[in-house]
Each structure stands twice: as C-alpha cells, then as structure tokens.
A and B are shown apart, each in its own frame.
Chain A
Amino acid sequence: MIKRFGDFTAVDGIDVDVQAGEAFGFLGPNGAGKSSTMRMIGCVSPPTDGVLEILGMDPRRDGSAIRARLGVCPQLDNLDAELTVRENLVTYARFFGISRATARRRADELLDFVQLGERADSKTEPLSGGMKRRLTIARALVNEPDIVLLDEPTTGLDPQARHLVWERLFRLKQQGVTLVLTTHYMDEAEQLCDRLVVMDGGKIVAEGSPRELIERHSTREVVELRFTAEDQGMYGEKLDGVADRVEVLPDRVLLYADDGDYALAEVHRRSLSPASALVRRAGLEDVFLQLTGRTLVD
C-alpha cells in the first residue's frame, strides 16, 4: 500500500495483515506514516497505489459500508463543542442510522464504561484531556464496531489518565473487538499489542509480537549510564567491549548485554564512575534504536 501527497511519499509500500480479534499496533516516531495509514484504513483517504481490503470489502467501492462497522478515535479529538457529552454520543449514533431510543440507551452504557456518567450533561469544553479522549473512545464504540482504530490513543495524557485508557482498551480487547492502534510509546505497544510493526520513513522495518521483536533485535537487559562530564561521547571508546553493543546518546550511554549486572561490574572494573547507573529489561525502545539508530520520541 502506498500513499503519496504530491512529491512526498508518506507511506512507502507497506504490507500488513490483521487478524480478527487481535490487537495490532503501528509503532514509529512522528512522520513515520502511521496516521496516513490509519486514514486509509478508516476509508477517508484513498491509497495512491496498492490493494486494501477491510472486512472483505474494497474501500474505493464500499467505503460507507466499511465505515459502518469501524470505530475511529482520531489523534486530535474532534468532539462537537456545541453539544453536551451525551448529545455527542447520541448525535454520532444517528450518523450510523441507529434509532434514537437505542442511541440514548447505548450512550448511557458507554458513558458508564468510560467513567463519564456524571458529566453526561456537561459541555465538552471544560473536560480534561483524558476525559475528552475517553469520550472520543466511547463515541468510537457507539456503533458496536468490529474494528476500532485508535490513532495515538494516549498521546498528551498524564500517567493516570493513560492507565485508565489502557485499562478500558484492554477490556475491549477481551470482549473480542479487533484493535488497530498507532503509538510512539513503547510501553503502550507492549501493554496492548499482540502483534505490531515498527515503521520508519513510511516503511515497515520490523514485524512481530513485542516479545519476539525484543528477543530478535535486542539483548535481554540494558544498562543505562549517565556521566557528569559534558561529553558522553568520549566514554564510547572507554566502554568498548563491556557489552554486546554500546550506544552513545546525547544524554546517556546504553550498554546492551544479556547480563546487565555483569556488564555494570565490568564498567566499575575499568574504574569508570557514572553519576547514575540503571539495569533494566530491554524494551521496544531499544528495538527501535537498534533498527533505525534513532530514539523514538525526539
């Protein structure tokens, strides 16, 4: 699948297959082509080239019928500021041809589900970012969709709000709803996705379950070192050989090793004394760094 905007190629020939009932993630930094991909899957942006089939239908011909079975939670909340919280859901349900009585009943159920029942008659303006996002998710569920598309569902939320959103999404997943999401947060991908692809510059650079990707592209553990000296770079040479791989970043040095404690002991043996040292399990962040040579959030 390819998407071009003039001379710019946003999505450069990706090939993915999402199974019903799975939680599938597109992981990558800003500008990787994740949102363009989501818009194509959401049938609001025709692919420039390639084949796209959703629920066994062709978006070019059956866009409206496909969208009837999708739930979309866009990156930027586009709630209706002129309506109340409940009206937002009821009005949206009407776009799907759902009867007014059913729409009202479902709106109340969904508001409970996303814990916004008490704010039902409030305007959307005074809601916090986390509440707005939860309302957007509730809105995406109003047609009882087979697939829910979530474009960076927790970007810009505080940790508490993120966990609440994750918990709700996890419950959806348990109910058998197919989730397709994009994220540039490693922990989000690890928490929610059964399978994911790592995207960079419009291309897929790796594919698999979070565990598989970490095993394939990283060591088991990582040691994060911070030195007080201005230039972390000069430590690159001094640390050569202490671990399988040494990655020097502007603010810290990463040592990739299957036994982090052993690597750290080796650092001390070379009489280097970092200001702080942390041994942790490797994550998708490390996979991305290994694959592209860059960090995800820059």
Chain B
Amino acid sequence: MLTLVMPKLVAFEGSGRRSVSVTERNVAALKSAYWLVLIGGLLEPVLYLFSIGVGVGSLIGDIELSDGRSVGYTEFVAPAMLAASAMSGALAETTFNFFGKMKFMRLYDGMLATPVRPFEIALGELLWAMARGSVYSVVFLAIMVAMGLTTPLRALAAFPAAVLVGFGFGALGMTVATLIRSWQDFDLIGAGQFALFLFSGTFVPAEAYPTALRWLVEVSPLYRAVDLIRGITLGSVGWVQVIDVLYLLVLLAVGLTVSGRRMGKLLCK
C-alpha cells in the first residue's frame, strides 16, 4: 500500500521543490540595479493615482456606483490602479524578462539539463513574478490606507485578491512570451497592455460605454481584476466578485498549462 502511494507523493513534492529552486535563482540574481526597476514599476500607478485620481477627480467630484452608492473619484480610481500595477508587475516579469532569459541568456537551456521540467520553470518564474507584484501591492495598499481611500481591514482583504490578479496575469504573460518572435513584438504587447489599462473600467465605469463595447470591456481580464479589488476596497462585495475570482483562477490554470507545454516545445526540440 505504502509503496503504491509513495512514488506519486515524492514526484509531486519534488516538482514543487524544483519550482522553488527556479524562484531561488531569481532571488540570487537580485542586485541593486534591480531595485530601481521595482521602484520604477511602483511609481507609475502612484503617479496615475495623483494626476488622474486626485487631479482630474477634483473636477469630477463624486461618482455613482451601480448599487446606487456614490463615492469620491479618487476612491473609485485607486483600486483600479492597484489592479493595474499588479498586472503590469506580473507582465513585466513574465514577458520581457522571461523572453530575455529564454532566448538571449539561454538560462532555461541550462536548467533543463537538470531534473527541472519546463512546467516547473514556468511555475517557478510565476512564483517570482507574484512575489514582485506583491511588493507593489503592499506599498500601494499602504498608500491607499494613509490617504483614507479604504480601511485597513479592507486593505488586508484586498491583498490576497491583488496576489491572485498577479498570478493570473503572470500566467497570461508567460503564455504570450512563448509566442513572441522578436523584440519588436513587445510594442504590440505594450499597446495591448495600455489599451487594457485605459478601458477596463479603470477611469470610467463600464456602464458608461454602449452595450456592445460594455460587453467587450467586461470580459477583459483587467476589468475582472479591477471589479474584484474595487468591490473589496469599497466594501461592496457580491456574487459578481465570485465570478471575478473564478475568471482569474481559470486564467491562471490555462496560462500555466499552455505556457509549460509551449516551453517544452520550444526548448526540447
């Protein structure tokens, strides 16, 4: 009985351990220059929060939510900036850095000569992307609490949601990275990411768009992420947020499976 069960358990345990060893490599590579990149990634959402949330917000005043409550524009924009920063942190790590490591540093060629499998590399890199995204999220939530845009308790609840957003986009980014042909393709990714950033219910509620467009906005991954985090920080969680969570979990599972498989195909020819 024991012998029947053990090999499977050991194999799974080994897989997790190997994924973490891939993450460890990134921790070892963390050098002073890297902190600048981290700060750079955090600066963007904070600047948007002040310029548009606070600046433009002072012209707009309050905004009415779908449940009839009305909140200040800054409170409305802040959770969207958090979701967007979780997204961009995860995407930066999993598209640009992942592609560079795969194609130019040939890092994964070396890793694949060890017991580490393609899927485990994907998982290890995703854990790393998530760790990076989490740093952004913690700092950003602290700013929100300090500005009185949410309560400390809600901020605490919003953190795991932001981590989930990072996970989902990380898996998506890695899948995209395995499809990239050259550096030129990053222009496309940048454009796509910016479009998501502008139109995912970030600055304007989805209800403001005509029906056809609104439908398009509501299926976009960043919209689901914004909806989830906004629901938490504004204290209006409902069944829609369950859909958001499921959406992000599916994104994570599909992204991880596809990217692991694509990596296997690209690197184990």
Please report A residues at the B interface, Cβ cutoff 8 Å. 5, 42, 44-46, 63-65, 67-68, 70, 72, 74, 76, 78-83, 87, 90-92, 94-97, 139, 143
List, in ascending order, chain B residues with CB within 8 A of A72's CB.
Answer: 113
| Closest Cβ–Cβ distance, residue B124 to chain A (whole Å) | 10
Least CB distance from A86 to B in Å reads 10
Partner of A97, one of B25, B115, B268: B115
Q: Separation in Å of the A294 CB from the closest CB of chain B? A: 28
Q: Which of A44, A80, A90, A94 contacts B107 (CB 8 A)?
A: A80
Q: Which residues of B contact A5 (CB under 8 A)?
A: 269
Shortest Cβ distance from residue B24 to the other chain A in the assembled complex, whole angstroms: 6
9 contacts between A and B (CB under 8 A): A42-B113, A45-B268, A64-B14, A67-B114, A78-B105, A78-B107, A95-B116, A139-B110, A143-B114
A83-B25, A83-B28, A92-B110 given. 15 additional CB < 8 A pairs? Answer: A5-B269, A44-B112, A45-B269, A46-B268, A67-B113, A67-B115, A72-B113, A74-B110, A80-B29, A80-B105, A83-B29, A92-B114, A95-B21, A95-B111, A97-B18
* Alpha-carbon distance between A83 and B114 when the two chains are bound, in angstroms: 18
Question: Are A87 and B115 in contact (CB-based, < 8 A)?
Answer: no
| Chain B residue contacts of A78, Cβ below 8 A | 105-107, 109-110
If A45-B268, A46-B268, A83-B28 touch, does A97 touch B14 (CB 8 Å cutoff)? yes
Task: Give A38 to B25 CA distance when docked, in angstroms.
Answer: 26
Q: Is the CB of B110 within 8 A of A80?
A: yes
Residue contact B24 to A64, C-beta cutoff 8 Å: no
Residues of A within 8 A of B157 (CB): none
Query: B125-142 CB contact bits vs A (8 Å, 1 = yes)?
Result: 000000000000000000
Pick the residue among B29, B107, B115 that contacts A64 (CB under 8 A): B115
Q: Cβ of B21 and Cβ of A94 under 8 Å apart?
A: yes
Do B31 and A82 touch (CB < 8 A)? yes
Chain A residue, CB-CB nearest to B15: A64
The answer, yes or no, to whether B117 is at the interface (CB within 8 Å) is yes
Q: How far is the CA of A31 from the CA of B226 in the complex (A)?
A: 54
A91:B24 contact, CB within 8 angstroms: yes
CA distance A276 to B22 in the complex (A): 58
CA A96 to CA B110, docked complex, whole Å = 12
A80 contact set on B, CB distance < 8 A: 25, 29, 105, 107, 110
B107 partner residues in chain A, CB cutoff 8 A: 78, 80
Q: Name the CB-closest residue of A to B34.
A: A82
Does B105 lie within 8 Å of A81, measured CB to CB? Answer: yes
Considering the complex, which residues of chain B in the window 13-39 have a beta carbon less than 8 Å from any beta carbon of chain A?
Answer: 14, 17-18, 21-22, 24-25, 28-29, 31
User: Does B267 have its Cβ within 8 Å of any Cβ on chain A?
Assistant: yes
Q: Which residues of chain B are within 8 angstroms of A79 by Cβ–Cβ distance?
A: 110
Cβ of B11 to closest chain A Cβ, rounded Å: 9
A97 touches B21 (CB 8 A): yes
- Kindly supply a per-residue 1/0 record for chain B positions 89-122, scoring 1 wherever the CB is within 8 Å of any chain A CB and 0 otherwise: 0000000000000000111011111111100000
Least Cβ–Cβ distance between B18 and chain A, in angstroms: 7
The answer to whether A94 and B31 have CB atoms under 8 Å apart is no
The complex places the Cα of A92 from the Cα of B18 at a distance, in Å, of 11
Task: Please name all residues of chain A whose beta carbon is closer than 8 Å to the beta carbon of B111 when the two chains form the complex.
Answer: 95
How close is B10's CB to chain A, nearest CB, in angstroms? 11
A26–B106 alpha-carbon span in the complex (Å): 25
Among B14, B25, B107, B116, the most chain A Cβ lie within 10 Å of the Cβ of B25
Taking the nearest CB of chain A, how far is it from the CB of B216, in angstroms?
A: 39
A74 in contact with B114 (CB, 8 Å) = no
**Is A44 within 8 A of B268, CB to CB?**
yes
Kindly state the separation between the CA atoms of A190 and B234 in the bound complex, as whole angstroms. Answer: 76
- Residue ID in chain A nearest B116 by CB atoms: A95
Residue of chain B at shortest CB distance from A95:
B114
State whether B18 touches A95 (Cβ < 8 A): yes
- Identify the 9 closest CB pairs spanning chains A and B, nearest first: A95-B114, A72-B113, A82-B29, A78-B106, A94-B21, A64-B115, A78-B110, A68-B115, A91-B25
Which residue in chain A gives the minimum CB-CB distance to B117? A64
